[in-house]
A and B are shown apart, each in its own frame.
Chain A
């Protein structure tokens, strides 16, 4: 029974958590944007620019954490652009988001070529190393999976806790969720919908970029074209899957990552010799669609999602 062996191996679960990490960052980023009422389709491109900016910073000789900060800043910059176009100007969030994705992706490739005109294979950096947490990492199977990861993975879990706390336990979170549900109610209380939504898009985009940076600075050690490979779009689905709740979205990210880790291992079994490997590649996506259909039917969508708010208009 190959599949039972796989599910009982610590390395499978460790891989699942590793694959989930960038998704967790970016999903939390998207969730914050959407909770404030802004659909951020710039996510895919922002992950690319984050992956590039973080890696480039380290390649130029700065520390790993500086790389994370620069990646975050690059994402916030594109978030600022996205927010300016969609919040005060009230432009279509779909068009702006796709535009941001194209712009951020091509900017990353362009700067890469400017900086490294002559290289054929991209240079490597020394990425984050796993940090084993004593005692806890000795728990069978899950100890190694959860407590022997890189600091960025721990940070990802921290971001989920902080996001949930801010959204549900602070006045800021209350105002943010209200801005995504009925912005007129927020304005009537003397708060600025513009500031709240801009803030959410900027911070959310910063998190997406850190998710991208995880790929070049923790999962791998270099920057390739196409390396984000649709992860941003997956995160948008994960937000829906999680019904706009941080905890559920985290579960969704882990579930998707587990399927992904599983399909890689299934390819190496006897079954893998019979079935074309593309079928295995499809598994996480097919299962995601099924889960999405089952899970999101009763979700409470933020009522003002994708609706621009114009002050003084009724």
Chain B
């Protein structure tokens, strides 16, 4: 952003930070300096060690070796309080907020001595107001955090750090949950912070953001620093290769040739108990040989829509059709019988059973098939050969079909679930966040498999929070916001900014 000179003072110095978990080296002798008014981007894939490093910085973990200096004085290991006192402020990826408390109470939590009488709410309110204005962080101090949007919660987290006079802001994957507009607002805030002399460490794996806001980039891979550069001297492509350690070939789907409609919804309303948002007046067509990409900030009804397709919930109103015929009794089993393959949103909770073997997990959805069980008896040899087949065809790296699934890495677990969904050649595929949390190699693999399934004639509903994924894979794009569905946009006919407007709920009133 501005020119930096060497003479500028160093506010934070990491020296030889090393941390191991069992055999895994999460951080390997990491050293770098952060200067006043500088934005460093810490770039790396999932599992590269970024979050571990930040947890060490904040005393949540204790490093095996290495030292941290803030403003010239050493930070004691494992002391969160000392890190905060030294002027470090952390915006966690999973917000550390108390939902039942107001914004203001969340901000002042832990700032006054515990044994003082009274909270001093008035003075706190003035101060919060001031900070909100200075940094462009508007949020109602009296609102309960539980009622705020994700973007607003992030503002509360930043205000929390600023309220404690943080001089170094650390943001862990801050844009993962934001719309493009909210991300822009965040970047404005960070600009203001830097102008006021704060320093920022920005953790991300999104290259274009890193290019846009950082002064310097540090790339981590397998716990090591594999490169660093001034942002102006490098390019997104170079950084990507450095991050992955190999050349990247992004999947590029050919143009689709959509066929008949295999599944459709007409005026469907559903609001299952316990869900914050239901879906309203959904009209949807899934066509053979086409990927329908569903964008939107999570929690806007995508989960309900996915559950409708997979039979986990039924419409309150409206009708659903399978290949032109009305669906009468709908359930997960009926959905499976209708050849709907599903990749659930969370591979740990709804996708697999951690303590079950790979074989058992592979047959979870079809243990009643005659080749797997007969007259109430399991045919384990058939089950195992099915599992072996999935493991081979979908490149699952594992000790064998008898291993428990929790021992697999996220990528391999997802490949197994993908294989389970795809091995029978389903006509309809529900892919809900299929690549979340995977490294680039696994992402490419999963995406290529989905494209191949599409080319083989499957109708695919791809739900993702990652706009880049939607824009590159989907043949047609729709946006979900507050339970409503936008019109269809063909690939290439809509920009991320326009999608962002739909994600924020603009446009629905005119289009209704």
Contact = CB atoms under 8 A, between A and B. Distances in A.
SS of A interface (majority): helix
B84 A178 contact: no
Contacts of B81: 190-191
A177 interface: yes
Interface in B109-168: 109-119, 160
A185 interface: yes
Q: What is the predominant secondary structure among interface residues of chain B facing chain A? A: loop
Interface string B43-66: 000000000000100101100000
B87 to A, nearest CB: 13
Interface string B100-115: 1100011011111111
Given A169-B118, A190-B82, A191-B110, 12 more contacts: A170-B115, A170-B119, A171-B108, A171-B119, A175-B109, A175-B110, A181-B98, A185-B106, A187-B60, A188-B96, A190-B81, A312-B55
Interface string B470-493: 000000000000000000000000
A303 interface: yes
Interface residues of B, number: 35
A177 B101 contact: yes
B385 interface: no
Interface of B: 55, 58, 60-61, 79-85, 90, 92, 94, 96-101, 105-106, 108-119, 160
A185 B112 CA distance: 16
A250 B101 CA distance: 23
Interface in A176-197: 177-178, 181-182, 184-191
Nearest to A191: B110
B104 to A, nearest CB: 10
B114 A187 contact: no
B62 to A, nearest CB: 9
Q: How large is the interface on A (under 10, 10 to 19, 20 to 34, 35 or more residues)?
A: 20 to 34
B119 A174 contact: yes
Interface string A156-176: 000000000000011110110
A184 B110 CA distance: 13
Nearest to B160: A189
26 contacts: A169-B117, A170-B114, A170-B117, A171-B109, A171-B110, A171-B113, A174-B119, A178-B98, A181-B99, A181-B101, A182-B97, A182-B98, A184-B96, A186-B109, A187-B60, A188-B58, A188-B90, A189-B160, A190-B80, A190-B81, A190-B82, A190-B84, A191-B114, A300-B100, A312-B55, A314-B94
B80 A187 contact: yes
A312 B109 CA distance: 20
Contact of B116 (A171, A177, A188, A312): A171
A113 interface: no
Contacts of A312: 55, 60-61
Nearest to A313: B60
Contact of B98 (A169, A185, A311, A314): A185
Given A185-B97, A186-B109, A175 B114 contact: yes
Given A171-B114, A188-B92, A181 B109 contact: no
B462 to A, nearest CB: 28
B116 to A, nearest CB: 6
Nearest to A188: B96
Contacts of B112: 171
Contacts of A187: 60, 80, 96
Contacts of B92: 188
Nearest to A314: B94
Contacts of A185: 96-98, 106, 109
